[in-house]
Amino acid sequence: MKVAVIGTGKTGSAVVNMLGDEAIPYNLNNKPTVDSLSSSKADIAIVFVSPAAAGEIVELLLEAKIPAVWGTTGYQWPADLPGRVKAAGTRWVIGSNFSLGMNLIRKTIGILGKGADLLKNPEFHIHEVHHKDKKDAPSGTALSWKEWLAQDPSISSDRQGDVKGIHSLHIKTINESIWLKHEAHSRDLFAEGAIWTAKYLLKHPHIDPGVYPFSSIFDRAFKEIL
C-alpha cells in the first residue's frame, strides 16, 4: 500500500510516522499534483489539511481519481461533491473524529439512551474535559454524545492542562447510577483510525463509488464481526 499523506501537521505527521515507507508525504514545501500522484502510484490519499487548503485538494483528488480519507474539519463541503466523487468512480470517507473507540461508544450510548426509557425518572449528565487552550465549550464530541443519547442531558465542561479529551456520561436514578467514560491518551488515535479506514477501503473494492461518513464505514466493519 502506498499512501499520499496530504498535510503534515500534528495528525498528518503521526500518519507518516505510523506508515513509514508506505507514506508519500505532501505539504506546503512539496505540494501534490495529479502527475506526482500518478508517478508515485499512490493507492489512496489521507488528508489532514486546513479548511482554507481543502478546496484546492478536493479538485486535485477528483482529477486524480484516487480514493481518499479526509480528516479536515471546519470546511463547507460542496453540495455536489457526492455526485462528483461518484462520477470519478472513486470512494471518499470524511470524518471529524477517527477514533475507533469513540465509535464503539456511539453504539453503546445509543443502546443506553433507548434502554433508559425502562428506568424510573432517570437523569442524564455529560461531562467533558479538554486542554486549557481549547476555546469552544461544550466540545463537539459532547454535543455528539447528546445527539446519540437522544435524551435531554445536562452538559458541563472543564479546561485543564494538556488533557487530550475525557468524556463521561452519568445516568442516575434514585436507586442506581450508570457510568460510561472515554479518555483519549494520545492524538495519535486519530491517525491510527485514518490508516485503518484507508486499509479498509482498499480491502473492500466492491464498496460503491461515493462519499461516506466514517461512522458508516465503521458500522459496516462492525457488522462483519458480529
Catalytic residues: 130, 134
What is the four-CA torsion angle of 132, 129, 221, 171, rounded to 10 degrees?
-170
Distance between CA atoms of 159 and 45, rounded to whole angstroms? 34
Distance between CA atoms of 77 and 55, rounded to whole angstroms? 8
The type of residue at 1 is M
CB 87 within 8 A of CB 62: no
C-alpha cell at 85: 466523487
Residue 163 DSSP one-character state: -
Closest CA to 192 of 43, 51, 47, 11: 11
3-state class of 42 per DSSP? coil
3-state class of 172 per DSSP? strand
User: Around Cβ 96, how many Cβ atoms within 10 Å?
Assistant: 16
CB 181 within 8 A of CB 167: yes
Partners of 45 in the β-ladder: 4, 68
